[in-house]
Structure 1
Amino acid sequence: MLLQDVECQISKSSCRYVSWRNKPAVEGQHGGILAASFVLVVEVLENLAYLANASNLVLYLSKFMHFSPSRCSNIVSNFMGTAFVLALLGGFLADAFFTTYCIYLISATIELTGLVILTLQAHARSLKPESCLSANRNDKCQHVEGGNEAVLFIGLYLVALGVGGIKGSLPPHGAEQFDEETAQGRKQRSSFFNYYVFCLACGALIAVTFAVWVEDNKGWQWGFGISTMAILISIPIFLLGSTFYRIKLPTGSPITTICKVLAAASINTFSSNARTAVVSTNPSSTSNSMQTIEEDNKVENSLTEELSFLNRAVMNKSTFITFKVNTKQVEEVKIVLKIFPVFISTIMLNCCLAQLSTFSVQQAATMNTKIGSLRVPPASLPVFPVIFIMILAPMYDHVIIPLARKITKTEMGITHLQRIGIGLFLSIMAMAVAALVEIKRKKVAHEAALMSSTEPLPITFLWVSLQYLFLGSADLFSLAGMMDFFFTEAPFSMRSLATSLSWASLAMGYYLSSVLVSIVNHVTGTFRHTPWLHGRNLNHYHLERFYWLMCILSALNFLVYVMWSKSYKYGSQRYDERSNDTRMLCKSTGV
């Protein structure tokens, strides 16, 4: 039965996609590399628009909106976390009600509106708090409030909503352009995710160099203006590809399907136990109940044995509550539950990545940031992992993968789970390197008698770039691997939502980083008079111990991931096994 379902789905695959005119997509005319290339160009502009603000937003809030340092940190953390979490909403709406094509256009328009509001506020003096010329500005200046504060947060969260919708729709829209029924199409889709991360890095490079320089030297109205123009230009570029796109039709709410299956399985488990009790106490109902149980067994034989608890969702029901659940829906929910551990495993990796914009920047700020006669701002350190990703991404696609295919004799060369695992391992190495660099930095500070000084230490900040390189490599392997894995393995009706888990993992990593710092300070402050991460002078921190803790937690996370991934079966393997089982059944019954 399942084999027939699979074959039916394959035969009708062309009906799953339409053109932008809502007509059936034509093979050779819609989709392919040309259609995906529009998505990649748009992603450069979209990430430029987002990071041009996010990377330097703390300065704008503190210097021009006069918020306190702690309030600025909270505002930026909440803004970035909300943007990535809202990717789940964008993916859900694309799967359930709209299309990735429509969600991108709606989200880009929302982000554009938010950026226009922020640009106008940065330009208009009446929408900002009064300038403060006193030396003790942070103590005496009044931060933005009232209607002007409302304007600020409306602009910020419109941008966050737009970014979330774009992150949840643009990657799956690009991946939908490739035919998954052919080996060539699957290879091209894997390359697409690799170059998607490359384009993310391209946009980030422009944002943290040119855009940040404009904000610092020409004014924030020009910085917001750059973001506004970038997202404005991205919309017509996206529309130019309309005649080439193939667009997946929405198939209804995936969350509803998951809830129905879980609820039906739970209810039928209870009713099955009750029915068994009736059989044992009322012999007159034995024949009917046994017939029902035999029918249930026939249905369960058509389902996979994994997560067998969910198989009860399609059993005959004897309660007044009924759900229309079929075997296909049960198998889809099983797939979702089996890929969820990857999402959980990558949160720790993204927690490590969060250190790039927090403690690593503060480390560099205490060191010598000169390269020859050029002084590099510590906030520009993300340039190192960005450049490394831009070098490594093409190398991975054109050198590493072809070599791996020759060695392994497989279509993929390096599987999705192996790629994510490499990213997790590199994050362990990054935290170990970060701890060793911090030990060296504090040793130099002690030898130079600058432990309590704010003067730059006689050690180059390039030592910190080592951990950036490891974490940048980890980000390339993990993010591209996660998006490819979630899109490929997720049920057809849930692909956008599943791909959005990659961004939700990033948000959870940022939140976990804040929680870990609070827990570490609470625990160490309980057993010691001074917490590890407390005070104004970084030299008095025990940051190296925190990094070692992160290294240990990452290693434990990696071991759990390896144990789980060894038992995971890819979708193609599951279908092959079902096909073999069906053939054996047909052979044994003479069909």
Structure 2
Amino acid sequence: MDKIHEELEQEQQDATTRDGTVDWFGKPAAKGSTGGWCTSPYILGTQTFASVGFCGVWTNLVLYLSRVLHERNSEAANAVTNWVGTSYLSSLLGGFLADAYWGKYRTNLIFLTIYLLGMVVLTLTVTLPSLKPSPCKMNVSTCSVSTLEQKALLYLGLYTVAVGYGGYQPCISSFGGDQFDKEDPLEQKQATTFFSWYYMSMMVGAIISATLIVYVEDSVSWSCGFAISTAAAAASIIIFLIGTRLYRHQKTGGNPLTRVVKVFTAAAFKLYVEVPSDSSQLYEVDSAVSAIQGSRKIQHTPNFRFLDKAAVKLDTHDDINISWRLCTVTQVEEVKCMMRLLPIWSTTIIFSTLYTQVSTLFVEQGAGMNTLVGNFKILPGSLSTFCMLSVILCSPAYEWLLVPAARKLTGKERGITNLQRMGTGKVVVTTAMVCAAFVEVFRLKSVARTNSAPLLSDFWQLPQYFLVGLSEVFAYSGQLDFFYEQSPDAMRGVGLALSQCSFALGNYLSSLQVVLVTKVTGWLPDDLNRGNLDYYFWFLTILSFVNLAFYLFCSLRYKLIQINHNDSVSLRASYAQLDLDPEDLIVERYASG
């Protein structure tokens, strides 16, 4: 009977997830009916339509502010930069709330609703004549400017969209990763593929915006274009809700900032206490459930030994203050994991700085080239579509061609590691800057020969656009998977929010660089034919090389997170059967032992 009971129990374990995720009813998630690829169409569809709505506003926003609101070009450009930066920074708020209190499903739904409300307000300001200034009249040198109330309502809608879309971003990507059992090797491999398709879905939405919606806004009306973006935002919520019963959910672990402060406080309290050489003497709860709800136990690592003091047991501990004087190994390792991510994360900021050239200096470079193909004029900004097409074409090629080939060479299931994948992306984007510099050299030579009449076709820019897109397939998709995989279970939303924030900081750094370089060197005058844009691209190439060297230094020394897989097998059963807050285990286990 015991053998039969063990076999039945094993079958039940194999039929449910082993990483602690639960279904809609709070029970251990069944593999056959929840999560995995059966939920991916809903999550990827949500992301695609959300991207259509957001990029539909972003792509033409600078033109709307200058043409309809009659703002100066510099003011409109700064307004868009600040708006995009706020959107990416808002990801920290969404990631924090998802990990600490609301959970990823609820956070996604709340921020998607905020995003939709902002889109509705925006559409109203574009549609109703009373909410925008009157059009410029013929033979009149000055145009009427928007009133304070009109501007306030417009920017209220814009920043509501920024907070909603930005706060949702890290939650939907980490929620998608949660659909794959982290204790199942097959599903773990599928999670890596998911992040590639996730980023490709973003590019599909961006291409639809850059073509269909931009055409409607330019050829039909602004109100019709914004209405399509709003409809896309509404569709994203509907698609997300359709998959509700199929999703797997990771339990929230409480306020991550409080846990971090507890570890540093406990370590500082025992400043002069010696850390034992045997890590098994450090404190950890005996239960399969870690002291952090929804999180598997993490094995001890030797770096940041000062923080290990927080897990040293002392006879002077009392039950009242024990949670601020004694932490488990898992709590300490959670902080170590995030600290180890920071150097790698800092290198993603420079990558984002290089990526922003696609929508800034690449466009200005193209404007100074021959944009005619026969009698048809190509808009310089439209070439960025080739960057998106590169992502869409190269993402499947990476999964179906490169990974199997690399697997044969390396013997690794994923072909190459995420660190190697991110490093390859940094090499490729450096090559793109080199291409841009050479194109600018040839462009300046052609201008010099023809007295400012450009002969060099802007199709010479296609290699640099293609390489930037290819770098995204390696760097950004690998970055999403890496930050998800290396973040502790209860801090994955925050981990992916950090990844999103690098784009905001990259935009700000790019703007600062342009201002400083313009003032100091004069390489970037208003007339690029009289400047040295090629010098600036060489500067970015050198910056990328330095960033790559620092990345190699950090990645070679990086210690991967080590999960205690023996305890994680029974994690789901412990949560399903015990009505107990894991934070209380610290006091209970210490008092009993």
**TM-score above 0.5:** yes
The answer on whether the counterparts of 1:369 and 1:461 sit within 8 Å (CA) in structure 2 is: yes
Residue of 542, 545, 553 corresponding to 1:555: 545
1:298 partner amino acid: Q
2:37 partner amino acid: I
Residue of 158, 172, 175 corresponding to 1:173: 175
Give the aligned CA root-mean-square deviation in angstroms. 2.6
**Partner of residue 335, structure 1:** 337
CA offsets per residue over residues 468-515 of structure 1, 9 Å max, x none? 111111112111101100111111001111112221111111111011
The answer on whether the counterparts of 1:87 and 1:164 sit within 8 Å (CA) in structure 2 is: yes
2: CA distance, partners of 1:117 / 1:476: 35
| SS of alignment partner, residue 546 of structure 1 | helix
2:68 partner amino acid: F
Moved more, 171-180 or 18-27: 18-27
Distance 1:389 1:294, change over 3 A: closer
**Partner of residue 560, structure 2:** 570
Q: How far is the alpha carbon of 1:370 from its aligned partner?
A: 2.6
1: CA distance, partners of 2:192 / 2:88: 22
2: CA distance, partners of 1:167 / 1:363: 31
The answer on whether the counterparts of 2:17 and 2:29 sit within 8 Å (CA) in structure 1 is: no
Q: Aligned pairs, how many?
A: 536
TM-score when normalising by structure 2: 0.86
Q: Does 1:305 align with 2:288?
A: no
1: CA distance, partners of 2:487 / 2:300: 17
**Partner of residue 588, structure 2:** none
Q: Does 1:358 align with 2:360?
A: yes
Pairs within 5 Å for 1:245-394 = 245-269=247-271, 271-272=272-273, 298-299=281-282, 303-316=300-313, 322-394=324-396
Distance 1:22 1:147, change over 3 A: farther
| SS of alignment partner, residue 155 of structure 2 | helix
CA offsets per residue over residues 204-228 of structure 1, 9 Å max, x none? 1111001100011111111110110
2:125 partner amino acid: Q
CA offsets per residue over residues 267-296 of structure 1, 9 Å max, x none? 422x54xxx9xxxxxxxxxxxxxxx98999
Q: How far is the alpha carbon of 1:135 from its aligned partner?
A: 5.8
| SS of alignment partner, residue 313 of structure 1 | helix
Q: How far is the alpha carbon of 1:319 from its aligned partner?
A: 10
Q: Does 1:89 align with 2:86?
A: no
**Partner of residue 438, structure 2:** 436
Pairs within 5 Å for 1:23-172 = 23-134=27-138, 140-172=142-174
**Partner of residue 586, structure 1:** none
Pairs within 5 Å for 1:182-581 = 182-269=184-271, 271-272=272-273, 298-299=281-282, 303-316=300-313, 322-450=324-452, 457-524=454-521, 531-534=522-525, 536-572=526-562
CA offsets per residue over residues 535-590 of structure 1, 9 Å max, x none? x2121222111111110010011011111111223235x769x9xxxxxxxxxxxx
Distance 1:20 1:165, change over 3 A: farther
Q: How far is the alpha carbon of 1:43 from its aligned partner?
A: 1.1
2: CA distance, partners of 1:370 / 1:171: 41
1: CA distance, partners of 2:118 / 2:92: 20
| SS of alignment partner, residue 456 of structure 2 | strand
1: CA distance, partners of 2:278 / 2:477: 44
| SS of alignment partner, residue 282 of structure 2 | helix
The answer on whether the counterparts of 1:15 and 1:24 sit within 8 Å (CA) in structure 2 is: no
1: CA distance, partners of 2:481 / 2:278: 39
2: CA distance, partners of 1:294 / 1:504: 38
2: CA distance, partners of 1:63 / 1:254: 45
Q: Which residues of structure 2 form unaligned runs of 5+?
A: 1-12, 285-298, 568-593
2: CA distance, partners of 1:432 / 1:266: 49
Moved more, 23-32 or 489-498: 23-32
1: CA distance, partners of 2:95 / 2:82: 20
Distance 1:381 1:327, change over 3 A: same
TM-score when normalising by structure 1: 0.86
The answer on whether the counterparts of 1:296 and 1:316 sit within 8 Å (CA) in structure 2 is: no
2:338 partner amino acid: V
Q: How far is the alpha carbon of 1:132 from its aligned partner?
A: 1.6
2: CA distance, partners of 1:376 / 1:15: 52
| SS of alignment partner, residue 135 of structure 2 | coil
Q: How far is the alpha carbon of 1:316 from its aligned partner?
A: 4.9
Q: How far is the alpha carbon of 1:391 from its aligned partner?
A: 0.6
Q: Which residues of structure 1 form unaligned runs of 5+?
A: 1-9, 277-291, 525-530, 579-591
Percent of aligned positions with the same letter in both sequences?
Answer: 35
Moved more, 335-344 or 58-67: 335-344
Distance 1:373 1:113, change over 3 A: same
2:447 partner amino acid: A
The answer on whether the counterparts of 1:444 and 1:459 sit within 8 Å (CA) in structure 2 is: yes
